Amino acid sequence: MAKKIFYIVLFIITGSLSTQAQIGVGEWRDHFPFFYTLAITESPDKVFVASESGVFSYDKNSKNIEKLTKVNMLSDVGISEIAYSDENNVLVVGYANGNVDLIYETEKFNLSDIKREAISGSKSINHILFINEYAYLACGFGIVVVNLEKREVKDTYYIGNLGTSLIVNQLAFDNNFLYAATNEGIYIADYANSNLVDYSNWQLITTVPSYTSNFNTIYVQNGNILANQVNESFNDQVYAYKDGVWSVLNNDYSSVREIVETENTVQLITNKNIITYSDGFIFQDSITSNDVSGFNPFDVSVTNNTFWIADKGRGLIKYQSGNAESVAPNAPYLKNSFAIAIDNNKVFVTAGALTPTWANFFLNGAVYILENERWSSVFNFSTSDYVSVKIDPYNDDHYFTGSWGGGLYEYNGKEQQENYRETNSTLQNVTGQDFCWVKGMAFDSENNLWVTNSGVENPVSVKINGGGWESFSFDERISNLLISDIIITELDHKWLLLPNGNGLFVFDDNQTIGNENDDLTKKLSILDENGKVISNNVYSFAEDLDGNIWVGTDQGIVVYYNPGSVFEESGFYAQRVILTIGEVTQYLLGTEIVTTIEIDGANRKWIGTQSSGAYLVSEDGSEEINHFTTENSPLPSNRINDIGINHDTGEIFFATDQGLVSYRGSATMGSDEFRDVYVYPNPVREDYSGDVTIRGLVSDVNVKITDISGNIVYETTAEGGQATWNGKNFNGQRVSTGVYLVFCSNEDGSKTYITKLLFIR
């Protein structure tokens, strides 16, 4: 029986958030998701909602949405909790790694003490409790007290046995006692005691049943206690302490996530609904999936009978009088980003993943598409791990995705057209398994689609443009191996990456796909000029604008400067690139695993690594231009899965294991003629401090900027099809108000263009 295919197209629901605007050269923007939210808090005017990747605020009056992410405000990713203090006018953001941000109206203050501390085990900020000017942080090892006025850590409480660390899940305060729900029971301490650093002043409550169990959430009021005991095998037990007696209030749910006090009521948040109790623990009402479709609540805040709910799947839900409205910033649906393809200003990102041993993560097949500055998401729940995407060069609505296990999928727009695998193509299943592993894809000059098919006898197939399929065994020299990517060079040679120490494979079908007798093939070990193996652990490759092949290994970068001679008997070797940084000369990324290489319009190399972020190096690789890491940039992770370049705008997209961000580079792809030349911004206002960008140029032209009298104030060479100017003259001074002329000319003067701009100082 054929498998039934289910797919869904999700168009992101937003509040009054304008579409994302293009960014200036040297600026960043995030593409973090806000549908899987985990925490919520309110100020008088706004609702703040957190996902792992960032926070967004929703203005209750204007309905405007603003994002707070690592790009514009926050210090980190991996948020675990947020809370707003009305008394101190501060939003506290806690992270799973122990980092803490204090967000004020117009500034941020970072407290990295916990993150930097050498603490074994979890440092996660699990809950935040405000008492006067102090924020009490329930952490994965104990309790940390932060003085919000002094912006510093005041105390750390280790409350476990003999002062050992203990996972504290939530704190509560009844104006007399502090309560801590921990993985080993409920602890209580007299708040008036000035020495709570001493563990002996924290007492374990032993009257609750199974008192040493894991309690993940707690509420106290007027001597009454409500606490949830986590049960891994059966339903959770919600215990109520009232009139000196413990009893089970609720044990109907497999997971109780949080107990929240709101407007003289208590909200019990489960994996299915929100139950409202009076402060005397009397049931009042509930919100279920009958009220909110696909309901998956994680946190709630209630004001004036309006429920603001952080939902895992729908972002922020505003629930009032039986009506539910979902709100989230425009973004991909999930943070998973693995492979990128870009053409004609459209960005495609797949959401699959692979383990280091090339095993599945079993993430639902998904593609996120950025078009006209709006993201849409396409899901295929019948398969898993889309690990590649390729756009038809003649139709950007027509694209293919490679599934690690499910074969090849063809799409037209948001609609799936076909799933190719062993039943309807030359693609094959792994021997003895129901997995069709597809990753590499490339279109040739005839618009035939070449596909790599790992772990099978015929590891390369081609979908012929307008026709059927053909496959290749290459005399079984690379049969049953893992095959990663494929590129087709300007010589129409096909290069294959063979991971796990198998090097490279190159073949030329001589444009006779159906005739293997005239094919040329060669399996390559990556050798230097002395015949010594540099490394056969290959991870990435790219052809640059000069036709050279750059290969990323676990020993950095190597380059083939004569790829046309690959099939000759001898003398074909790779060269390592020498990079000079300051006084240090070394091999280019010689100790790094290079996961991806992309070439920009100026023939510079953007390089992603497994653990050291992203690099931009010069055309020949001898100069490091930029090195972006989590420490010096908005990158959410130093693990770069893929890099994609929008050659029309110069925007560089970085797919990481913690989400997608982009950076506006200084180069675009040039052309043979001047096309749609424009200057941005124009006019240049007095409050503008960024670069002026001139786009649509012939490749690498000379650009002169003069005042209206013809005096040259600046001169540069375009990087590909784009040039930038910082608005200053040769003396480093900002130019005066006036009209300026931009003269563009190629080397022999045969192609010229003149435009102008208004500069206001």
Residue-wise pLDDT tens digits, 626-644: 999 999 999 999 999 999 9
The widest CA-to-CA distance across the chain, in whole angstroms, is 94
Q: Which SS3 state, helix, strand or coil, does residue 725 take?
A: strand
Question: Tens of pLDDT along 408-441?
Answer: 999 999 999 999 999 999 999 998 899 999 999 9
Two tokens, residue 664: 């506006």
Task: Give yes or no for residue 653 having a pLDDT over 90.
Answer: yes
- Cβ-contact 133, 88 below 8 angstroms: yes
Residue 1: pLDDT band (50, 70, 90) is: very low
**Distance (Å, whole) CA 167 – CA 522:** 57
CA 605 from chain centre, in angstroms, equals 21
Task: Give yes or no for residue 609 having a pLDDT over 50.
Answer: yes
Task: Give yes or no for residue 164 having a pLDDT over 60.
Answer: yes
- Cβ-contact 450, 488 below 8 angstroms: yes
Domain ranges of the chain: 74-204, 525-529+537-557+570-669, 678-759
Question: Tens of pLDDT along 60-108?
Answer: 999 999 999 999 999 999 999 999 999 999 999 999 999 999 999 889 9
Task: Give yes or no for residue 728 having a pLDDT over 60.
Answer: yes
Q: 150: Cβ–Cβ under 8 A, 6 or more apart, which residues?
A: none
Task: Give yes or no for residue 538 having a pLDDT over 80.
Answer: yes
Question: Tens of pLDDT along 371-409?
Answer: 999 999 999 999 999 999 999 999 999 999 999 999 999
pLDDT at position 21, please?
A: 58
pLDDT at position 671, please?
A: 85
DSSP string computed for 454-493: ETSSS-EEEE-TTS-EEEE-GGGTSTTS----EEE-TT--
**Distance (Å, whole) CA 696 – CA 675:** 5
H helices then E strands: how many in the chain? 1, 66
The domain 74-204 is placed in CATH, from the list 3.40.50.300, 3.30.70.380, 1.20.120.1200, 2.130.10.10, at: 2.130.10.10
Whether the domain at 74-204 and the domain at 525-529+537-557+570-669 fall into the same CATH topology: yes
Strand locations in 3-74 (E)? 7-11, 28-30, 37-42, 46-51, 55-59, 65-68
Q: 554: Cβ–Cβ under 8 A, 6 or more apart, which residues?
A: 535, 537, 539, 592, 593, 594
- What mean pLDDT comes out for the span 579-587? 84
What architecture is domain 678-759? Sandwich (2.60)
**Distance (Å, whole) CA 472 – CA 506:** 13
- On whether the 525-529+537-557+570-669 domain is CATH 2.130.10.10, my answer is yes
Single-letter amino acid code for the residue at 220: V
Pick from 39, 22, 161: which is nearest to 95 by CA? 39
Instruction: Give the long-range contacts of residues 23-26, CB within 8 A, separation 24 or more.
Output: 23/651, 23/662, 23/664, 24/664, 24/690, 24/691, 24/693, 25/650, 25/664, 25/665, 25/666, 25/690, 25/691, 25/693, 25/724, 26/663, 26/664, 26/666, 26/690, 26/691
Question: What is this structure's pTM?
Answer: 0.93
Q: State the Cα angle at 668 between 662 and 674, rounded to 5°.
A: 150
Q: Which helix (H) or strand (E) holds 113?
A: helix 113-116
Question: Tens of pLDDT along 221-277?
Answer: 888 999 999 998 899 999 999 999 999 999 999 999 999 998 889 999 999 999 999
Q: What percent of the chain has pLDDT over 70?
A: 97
Residue 580: pLDDT band (50, 70, 90) is: confident
- Cβ-contact 456, 428 below 8 angstroms: yes
Q: 271: Cβ–Cβ under 8 A, 6 or more apart, which residues?
A: 253, 254, 255, 257, 296
**Given the structure tokens 């000379």, which residue do they identify?**
702
